[in-house]
Structure formats: C-alpha cells, structure tokens
Amino acid sequence: MTRLTVLNSMASADFSESIEIQKSWGIRDLDLRDSILGESINDLSQPTAERVRKAIDGSGLEVTCLSSTFFKEDLSKGQDHFVEQHLRKLESVLAAAQILRPRFFRLIAASLPVDGNGRRLALLEHELAWVVDLYREAVDRIAEAGLRTTIENEAPNSIFTHDDDIIGFFELLGRPETASFTWDIQNQWACGVFPSIEGFERLKNLIGYVHVKGGQAEPSGRDLVWAASLEDSDWPVRTIVQAVVDSGISPVICLNRPSHGRPKPGYDYEALTKRDIDFLRSEIIGIE
C-alpha cells in the first residue's frame, strides 16, 4: 500500500501540533522542511534534530524526507556562489540529518532561464559542466552520511523542465544507486509541460518520490493558471496517481499546497490539505 504525507508546516507551523494533526490524519511518514522547532532543514542543528528524534520516537512515525532547498537558485550566480552558499552549508547539516534517519535527503534542481527542449541540458554538458560536478559531489557527501539523495524539479525555469532535460541530467550525474528524482507534477506543469501518463512512463525509472498538488487552466488553454484542489484539477490526477501507485516507485506520495497557481476568486480553499488527502484515499486504489 502507498502512504500519504504532507510537508510538515502544512499541518501547522507549530511542530508539536503538526505532529498531532498529521497523526489524526493517519499520516505515518514525515516530510520535514521548515518550522522545525524554529529551524529549517537548511540550518538544522544537531540539538534540534535530537529533540525531533525524541518527539517522534515511540509515536509510530518515521521520517521519509528531509526537504532542504539547497541549490534552489539561478545558475547565473556562478560556481563560487553555489559552492559557498549550498555545498558547504549542506555539509554542516548532514550530521543532524543522520540523527533523523530519513529515507531521502532532498536537493532542488537549480534554475536556468533559457528556451527550448534540450537547451538547458546542452549548456550543462558544455558551458556549465561544473553544475553536474557540484551535484555529484553533493550526492556523494550525502551518501557518505548514509543517506539517499532525491532531486526535485522546481518552478519556474528549472533545469528539470522537459523530460529530456531530466533524463539527460541523471545520465550525466551517473549516480543511480544513490540519487533519484522527486517528480513534482504541478511544478513541471508550471514550467510549461502539461502532466501526462506518457511523461510519467518516460520518467518512472528515475522517480523515487512524487509530489502532487492541484491546479486549473482556463477553459480555452492548458497553461496552469489557478490554484485548486486535486479533485477539481485539470491535470489527469486519477490516471497519473493510479499509475504511480501501481508502479510502486513512490511508496510515499507527498501532498503540497498548490503554490504556482493564483487564488481563484470565489473558490473554497478551506481545509484544502485534508480534502486532498481524503480525495486520494477515496479515488486511488492502493492508497492507505
């Protein structure tokens, strides 16, 4: 059975309250990002990690992912910036991360605002070859800490915009045993790629974790415009999520807030996270 989780602060900005709310929702797998006793994963200290470990021990909960935002910047800032602000800071939190024993430690695919399918990959192969080297070094350091890396596509302008970009990047990375892809379906849509079962089939051998959130287009188009629940979404939620569950590639699926669509006038956003949880459990065979 596939389980559901949410980013911890979606339940509550108070960490202890978030844990209790998630337990009441039947969640057993934690995805920790921010509002972690006053810290985020990017600055997680060992004392805070020890407090978190103590809070969840004996609760029946486990940590599925530590969702850092390392590398979530534009590559135009250059290699030195990424080494100083991301790679070196990553090293400082890995000891704390080990205490929490997550299934994944998340990095973000950086942004590169260029046009064209495959154009970003061509730049990463040649003019920006340092980028793949930097990710490889990060993956190796995370692996040395006994953890597995997952790299998520963000929006906009992600180096993981098109399927070919994603597939090519992981081929260049060359770390299939220690790094996999977090497919945020709506993020890819926000970058201009409408979610499809064909896209999933192309990417599924790379995927280890899936993020889902709702969104709507205008009736005359396919571009993401409005934030919405999963039930009211215009992308094929039932078809794609059922395929993910049937494949078994993402034992836990993480719900996110619909962050890249605008609030729709008159739309009911009350209790959206719980509504999305209930919808997936009722509509997708194999989700508990």
β-pair partners for 39: 36
Distance between CA 147 and CA 9 in Å, rounded? Answer: 23
Starting at the edge strand found earlier in the chain, the sheet holding 207-212 runs 3-6, 252-255, 207-212, 179-184, 149-152, 104-108, 62-67, 29-32
β-pair partners for 262: 226
pLDDT score of 41? 99
178: in domain = yes
140: in domain = yes
229: in domain = no
β-pair partners for 159: none
Q: Return per-residue pLDDT of the chain as tens, 288 residues.
A: 999 999 999 999 999 999 999 999 999 999 999 999 999 999 999 999 999 999 999 888 999 999 999 999 999 999 999 999 999 999 999 999 999 999 999 999 999 988 767 788 999 999 999 999 999 999 999 999 999 999 999 999 999 999 999 999 999 999 999 999 999 999 999 999 999 999 999 999 999 999 999 999 999 999 999 999 999 999 999 999 999 999 999 999 999 999 999 999 999 999 999 999 999 999 999 999
What phi and psi, each to the nearest 5 degrees, are found at residue 13? -75, -15
5: in domain = no
Distance between CA 200 and CA 70 in Å, rounded? Answer: 25
Among candidates 1, 5, 2, which has minimal Cα distance to 61? 5
Indicate which CATH number applies to the domain containing 131.
3.20.20.150
Pairing of strands 3-6, 207-212: unpaired
Q: DSSP H helical segments within 154-196, as ranges?
A: 163-173, 185-190
Per DSSP, the three-state class of 150 is: strand
The answer to whether the CB of 158 falls within 8 A of the CB of 187 is yes
2 Cβ contact partners less than 8 Å away, ≥ 6 residues apart:
244, 245, 248, 250, 251, 252, 253, 284, 286, 287, 288
pLDDT score of 114? 83
Q: Before 156, cis peptide (omega within 30)?
A: yes
Phi-psi region of 192 (alpha: psi -120 to 50; beta: other; left: phi over 0): left
221: in domain = no
Length of the chain in terms of residues written = 288
Domain span including residue 77: 15-209+236-250
158: in domain = yes
β-pair partners for 183: 210
62: in domain = yes
The separation between CA 164 and the C-alpha centre of its own chain, rounded to angstroms, equals 19
Q: DSSP H helical segments within 25-87, as ranges?
A: 46-56, 79-82
- Give the chain's domain count: 1
pLDDT score of 21? 98
